[in-house]
Amino acid sequence: MVNIKLSNRARNTPPSPIRKLAHLANNARRSGTHVYALNIGQPDIESPQEFFDGLNLFKQKIVAYDQSQGNENLCKAWSRYVNRTLQVQTSPEQFLITMGASEALVFLFMTCCDPGDEVIIFDPTYANYLGFAAVAGVTLVPILSNMEDNFALPAKNVIEQKITNRTRAILLCSPNNPTGTVYGRGELQFVLDLCEEHNIFLIVDETYREFVYDELEPLSILHLAPNNRRVIVVDSLSKRFSLCGARIGCLLTSNEEVLSTALHIAQARLAAPTIDQFASAHMLYNIKDDYLENARNEFQARRDALYYALREIPNVTVHRPKGAFYTIAQLPVDNAEAFATYLLSQFSCGGKTTFIAPAAGFYMQNSQGTKKARFAFVLKKSEIEAAIEVLAAGLLQYLRQQP
Amino acid sequence: MVNIKLSNRARNTPPSPIRKLAHLANNARRSGTHVYALNIGQPDIESPQEFFDGLNLFKQKIVAYDQSQGNENLCKAWSRYVNRTLQVQTSPEQFLITMGASEALVFLFMTCCDPGDEVIIFDPTYANYLGFAAVAGVTLVPILSNMEDNFALPAKNVIEQKITNRTRAILLCSPNNPTGTVYGRGELQFVLDLCEEHNIFLIVDETYREFVYDELEPLSILHLAPNNRRVIVVDSLSKRFSLCGARIGCLLTSNEEVLSTALHIAQARLAAPTIDQFASAHMLYNIKDDYLENARNEFQARRDALYYALREIPNVTVHRPKGAFYTIAQLPVDNAEAFATYLLSQFSCGGKTTFIAPAAGFYMQNSQGTKKARFAFVLKKSEIEAAIEVLAAGLLQYLRQQP
């Protein structure tokens, strides 16, 4: 029996809190249980017809490599789309096309940081940031934001206490995954000023930019700092257009040095997928504004359904999100992962159960999330209501069994 | 003017020797010159109709994330394909689908190595291995193979001198990029025994496995070590099926620990592209054997055309490759990169020029490659002949201008 040690970094890379219970959900499905998947940000809205039209227009006989910096036509289409919808001025040369926002963040961590360098994030955070940091050998420095404050940004002195001579960037996700918090103009300016003062990068993950509710308008860091060389936007088509599986993201900056250096890393992986880029370009040129308008209205209705349903459950505290399609709720259990596991493996109600993501994995300070869970409102309103009904029944039964 | 330092590792990541002169080629094309691209392994053979059939069969309304370990159906199709064509016994669970062989190698470096750990490669080597190693913080330890020996593997004691307590793997590419050398059963067994003796991993990049000429049969490390936990195969659809732009590769091993640990890293990037996986699965189930048979015959004819044409040029020495679609030639110039640059930016013959990849970037010991270039025989026979004719004329003129 061969025994070869694997790397510490691989063994220490935490499994995704969103996916780590997936095998239990698969078991439940196999045994005939319907699983309401509120664990993962996989929207059920149909992808735009314009994307499929683009797919049908692909008539190249050879599926060849595209450029490492991304398909030229896609860079143009994306720049034009952003300029039109946000009223900003970007140029195609400011884009580097990546395989999802995921790859954009890995490229940025590697471009901005040497191993051991630090990036400040706000806790709770998108769990995969931890994975990207592990891959890049970057130390994430978490600063806690509190549910009681609607996950607002911490005070200046609290953040500054964490800035060291190894700090290379602040990474902000707005609208936020996993909290649904939307940072306003004042908060963005506050972080931007901090980055100016300490001469570090500001990376803003705007994957959910258009998903803002209650009359909010989409806000980009580009609105405040259109040509600031320390500002890098990470973007993705995954959520906005229900194209998670197309794996098309980008990084966008006016800093040519960041672009040309990241390109070295991009060249090593050759290129993003050709057909998906082709179809995405066609879509961005032709997409109608009502696609996102409809999606936004739909998600707002789902947000309301989820929020009010969760609020009805005794001893559950729930945050009211202003954007994205997530929220965090505190559950009256000692351990939300044990409860999530219970729902998938020991409970069903009318042949149904609910899959939630335990929040501990979204907190670098895990213990802050032990009793919390992240809920994605990515199902139809009626399904969300049914899912929470099932969860409430499960919770009752779970609490009864506890000693 | 903002001045924020970028990381050393990004600045030190070498630009791809295959792509670094691409802007000069683009300039030449823009000014109306036809460029014969022998620099990049982008075959001009049409992708299989079965892939496009699969694309047309994709009727899902939502382009959703696939599984992090890869689409289940693709793993089945690939396993069945490998079992049928190579007469081996793999199971779908032994596959992890990646975005090209590139991502598979990054995952493996990260899984098998901590930063600073060492992987032995043979020089010249596929240049992007250097990029993957830079990304993963792995130290590649090159051992020179010589053109005079047809790039055969070095002797045991030469390799063993380079094995240290930080060595984690030997990485072999066969058929080889950039040399076209095919390692036979004896050589594979020799490396396997070395890895056994020193308890390290053997990673074999079999991207070009079916492209072997002169009556050779495709040989996999799985033929010698079907269930050896230290053996990991890296594979890709890119070259075999002219699908470079689909970005579909895999790693294949019977070592569950490697698979489950690499999966942690795979989860952080979520999944490979859904549509490309779908179409690839359909293709692998339905592809006819004559697709590869024809491609192989075609490449063999091109290999001959390239080899004989290069051999005609005075003072050029050329290696006769047995596989893949590359060879290395030594040119009568002081610096092959300067000559390649000259061809693209100062020379044309009848409105045409030739793009070759300077070999220095394929050698970790750069100076070993200064006078050499890599040629990819990925164009039609007649075009290769024309390309080499142009190159010969360019060489003559270049040498006349030298002091």
On whether the CB atoms of residues B340 and B347 are closer than 8 A, the answer is no
> CA-to-CA distance for A198 and A386, rounded, in angstroms?
49
> Could you say which of B131, B242, B258 has the minimum Cβ distance to residue A63?
B242
A183 and A99 in a common domain = yes
pLDDT in tens, A31-63: 999 999 999 888 889 999 999 999 999 999 999
Same domain, B197 and B228: yes
Question: Residue B6: which of A46, A242, A261 has the nearest Cβ?
Answer: A261
In a domain, B221, yes or no: yes
- Residue A3, in any domain of the structure: no
Contacts of B105 in chain A (CB under 8 A): none
Residue B105, domain extent: 49-286
> What is the distance in angstroms between the Cα of B107 and the nearest Cα belonging to chain A?
9
pLDDT in tens, A172-215: 999 999 999 999 999 999 999 999 999 999 999 999 999 999 99
Average model confidence (pLDDT) across chain A: 95
* A264 closest CB neighbour out of B10, B46, B243: B10
Within-domain flag for B358 = yes
Q: Judge if A260 and A316 occupy the same domain.
A: no
The tally of domains found in chain A comes to: 2
For A285, the enclosing helix (H) or strand (E) is helix A274-286
| Residue B4 domain-assigned (yes or no) | no
- B111 contacts A10 by C-beta, under 8 angstroms: yes
Please check whether residues A65 and A32 belong to one and the same domain. Answer: no
Q: Are residues B297 and B278 in the same domain?
A: no
CATH of residue B263: 3.40.640.10
Distance from CA of B96 to the nearest CA of A (A): 15
B58 plus B42 within the same structural domain: no
B-chain residues near A100 (CB < 8 A): 269-270
DSSP bridge pairs for B171: B203
B325 within a domain of the structure (yes/no)? yes
Which among B254, B286, B318 is the end of a domain? B286
Among A259, A286, A313, residue at a domain's last position: A286
SS (H, E, C) B24-59: HHHHHHHCCCEEEECCCCCCCCCCCHHHHHHHHHCC
A2 pLDDT more than 70: no
Cα–Cα separations (whole angstroms), residue B403 to B333, B334, B358, B398, B399: 12, 12, 21, 10, 8
Answer yes or no: do B246 and A275 touch at CB < 8 A: yes
Scanning B331-360 for CB atoms below 8 A from A yields none
Tell whether B175 and B236 lie within a shared domain: yes
Residues B345, B227 share a domain: no
Give me the mean pLDDT over the A132-143 stretch.
Answer: 92
Same domain assignment for residues B386 and B305? yes
Which of A131, A258, A270 comes nearest B102 by C-beta?
Answer: A270
Alpha-carbon distance of A257 to B6, in angstroms, equals 8
Element (H, E) at B329: strand B326-330
| H-run or E-run covering B266 | helix B256-268
> Does residue B201 belong to the interface with chain A, where contact is any CB pair within 8 Å?
yes
User: E-strand spans in A253-334?
Assistant: 317-318, 326-330
Report whether A292 contacts A210 (CB < 8 A).
Answer: yes
Of B4, B114, B274, the CB nearest to A199: B4
- Residues A316-332: what's their mean pLDDT? 97
The interface residues of chain A toward chain B in range 33-72, judged by CB-CB distance below 8 A, are: 40, 42-47, 51, 55, 58, 61-66, 68
Three-point CA angle A250, A51, A98, nearest 5°: 15
The rounded distance, in Å, linking the Cα atoms of B280 and A175 is 35
> Which of B225, B253, B286 is the C-terminal boundary of a domain?
B286
B232 touches chain A (CB under 8 A): no
Residues A2-27, mean pLDDT to the nearest whole number: 81
CA A361, CA A345: separation in Å to the nearest integer? 20
B235-292: pLDDT as tens digits:
999 999 999 999 999 999 999 999 999 998 898 888 999 999 999 999 999 999 999 9
pLDDT at B83: 98
**Which residue of B61, B114, B271 is in closest CB contact with A7?**
B114
Does the distance separating the beta carbons of A271 and B68 come in below 8 Å?
Answer: no
ω before B175 within 30° of 0 (cis)? yes
Tens of pLDDT, residues A250-308:
999 999 999 999 998 898 888 999 999 999 999 999 999 999 999 999 999 999 999 99
Single-letter amino acid code for the residue at B206: E
Same structural domain, A235 and A384: no
Nearest-Cα residue of chain A relative to residue B134: A265
* Contact: A275, B55; criterion CB under 8 Å: yes
Categorize the per-residue pLDDT at A1 as very low, low, confident or very high, splitting at 50, 70 and 90. very low
Cβ–Cβ < 8 Å for A345, A336? no
Query: Does residue B313 fall inside a structural domain?
Result: yes
CB-side exposure of A136: number of CA atoms within 13 Å? 32
Q: What is the pLDDT of residue B2?
A: 55
The answer to whether A264 contacts B113, with C-beta atoms less than 8 Å apart, is no
Same domain, A299 and A157: no
- Cis, bond preceding A175 (omega within 30 deg of 0): yes
Measured in degrees and rounded to the nearest 5, phi and psi for residue B337 equal -70, -40
Instruction: Tell me the C-alpha distance between A10 and B397, whole Å.
Output: 54
Report the gap between the CA of A257 and the closest CA in chain B (Å): 8
Whether the Cβ atoms of residue A150 and residue A319 lie closer than 8 Å to each other: yes
pLDDT, tens digit only, all 403 positions of chain B: 457 788 888 877 777 777 778 889 999 999 999 999 999 888 889 999 999 999 999 999 999 999 999 999 999 999 999 999 999 999 999 999 999 999 999 999 999 999 899 999 999 999 899 989 988 889 999 999 999 999 999 999 999 999 999 999 999 999 999 999 999 999 999 999 999 999 999 999 999 999 999 999 999 999 999 999 999 999 999 999 999 999 999 999 999 999 999 998 898 888 999 999 999 999 999 999 999 999 999 999 999 999 999 999 999 999 999 999 999 999 999 999 999 999 999 999 999 999 999 999 999 988 999 999 999 999 999 999 999 999 999 999 999 998 7
Task: Please identify among residues 250-309 of chain A the ones whose CB lies closer than 8 Å to any CB of chain B.
Answer: 255, 257-258, 261-265, 267-276
Q: What is the CATH number of the domain that holds B27?
A: 3.90.1150.10
Q: What's the rounded Cα separation, in Å, for the pair A88 and A226?
A: 7
Higher local confidence (pLDDT), A11 or A395: A395
Chain A positions in Cβ-Cβ contact with residue B246 (cut-off 8 Å): 63, 273-275
A267 with A215, same domain? yes
B309 and B388 Cβ atoms separated by less than 8 Å: yes
Tell me, yes or no, if B400 comes closer than 8 A to chain A by beta carbon.
no
Cβ-contact B252, B90 below 8 angstroms: yes
Nearest alpha-carbon partner for B240 in B179, B283, B193, B194 = B283
